[in-house]
């Protein structure tokens, strides 16, 4: 059975409270929320994390992921320990923790740095796995997932049952190139971040304007085994009204893949 669920990444609305984000998601009729760790669910506040879980579930929504800002840096350079991140994810009831594969372009990362990131990924994935939680890389610029080749090398080197990568279309790339890249990395892809920016991240458009692009991505993603969330991340002008419009668009698209 195809299992693609609609979602919202809470950092889309950093200026809204937890309650306001939940109400917006409930009004939109989406399935769940990826809670960000910078504003809405900071690491280390386990009581707050449990409260957010309760509020989310009481609204009939699920927690899709914990969007942390753990960057797999040397421990002294991290804002929070992974132990704090993991404990918060447990309190939140998140099935997966989003992390970042370093903080520099892959072209600047030497072999020693790549090996260190792989080793740290193993450490945190082993820890998370004991709690039934997975780790997923953000698919993003200025990290080891900023090119297809680098992301592929990283996933092969990590080769861990509890590690996947999120996916989003790289900015400014032709849709056919993005689809070809998705084909290659697909076996490691879990959740999807959904938006329509073109040609740069500053040029944000209604999601409906990207229908031709997203139809080819989703047609392929829908053939992959397992469950995954397709979550809206950022909207034109940062307006809640635009999110509601985009959420309706996303739900219409996903309805094609459900009987």
Q: pLDDT for 14-64, tens place per residue?
A: 999 999 999 999 999 999 999 999 999 999 999 999 999 999 999 999 999
Tokens of 258: 């459900």
If pLDDT is split at 50, 70 and 90, which confidence band does 172 have?
confident
Tokens of 54: 């309760």
Of the chain, the percentage scoring pLDDT greater than 90 comes to: 95
Helix pair angle (240-255, 211-221), 10° resolution: 50
The CA-based angle 248-254-258, given to 5 degrees, is 130
Taking a C-beta distance cutoff of 8 angstroms, is the pair 257, 32 a contact? no
Kindly write down the DSSP assignment for every residue of 86-113, as one continuous string: HHHHHHHT-SEEEE-S-SS-GGG--HHH
Please report the pLDDT score of residue 199 as a whole number: 87
Give me the residues paired with residue 67 across strands: 36, 98
Backbone dihedral angles phi then psi of residue 200, each to the nearest 5 degrees = -120, 170
Taking a C-beta distance cutoff of 8 angstroms, is the pair 113, 74 a contact? no
- For 169-178, what is the mean pLDDT? 92
If pLDDT is split at 50, 70 and 90, which confidence band does 2 have?
low
| pLDDT averaged over every residue in the chain | 97
Please report the pLDDT score of residue 201 as a whole number: 85
Of the chain, the percentage scoring pLDDT greater than 70 comes to: 99
Please give the Cα distance from 197 to 167 (Å, whole number): 15
- For 134-159, what is the mean pLDDT? 98
Structural fold of domain 3-255:
TIM Barrel (3.20.20)
Please report the pLDDT score of residue 258 as a whole number: 86
Please report the pLDDT score of residue 92 as a whole number: 99
Please report the pLDDT score of residue 1 as a whole number: 61
pLDDT, tens digit (0-9, with 9 covering 90-100), for 174-230: 999 999 999 999 999 999 999 999 888 889 999 999 999 999 999 999 999 999 999
- For 143-159, what is the mean pLDDT? 98
């Amino acid at each position: 059975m195809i299992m693609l669920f609609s979602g919202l990444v809470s950092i889309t609305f950093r200026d809204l409270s937890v309650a306001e984000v939940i109400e917006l998601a409930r009004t939109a009729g989406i399935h769940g929320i990826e809670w960000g760790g910078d504003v809405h669910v900071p690491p280390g506040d386990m009581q707050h994390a449990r409260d957010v879980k309760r509020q989310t579930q009481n609204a009939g929504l699920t927690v899709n992921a914990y969007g942390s800002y753990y960057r797999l840096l040397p421990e002294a350079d991290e804002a929070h320990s992974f132990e704090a991140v993991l404990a918060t994810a447990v309190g939140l009831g998140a099935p997966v923790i989003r992390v970042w594969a370093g903080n520099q372009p892959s072209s600047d990362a030497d072999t020693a740095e790549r090996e260190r990131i792989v080793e740290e990924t193993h450490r945190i994935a082993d820890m998370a796995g004991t709690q039934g939680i997975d780790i997923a890389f953000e698919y993003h610029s200025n990290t080891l997932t900023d090119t297809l080749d680098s992301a592929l090398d990283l996933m092969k080197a990590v080769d861990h049952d509890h590690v996947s990568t999120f996916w989003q279309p790289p900015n400014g790339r032709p849709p056919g190139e993005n689809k070809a890249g998705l084909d290659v990395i697909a076996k490691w892809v879990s959740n999807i971040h959904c938006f329509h920016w073109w040609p740069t991240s500053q040029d944000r458009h209604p999601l409906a304007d990207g229908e031709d692009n997203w139809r080819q991505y989703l047609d392929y993603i829908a053939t992959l085994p397992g469950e995954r969330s397709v979550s809206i991340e950022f909207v034109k002008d940062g307006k809640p009204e635009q999110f509601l419009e985009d959420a309706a668009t996303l739900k219409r698209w996903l309805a094609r893949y459900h009987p």
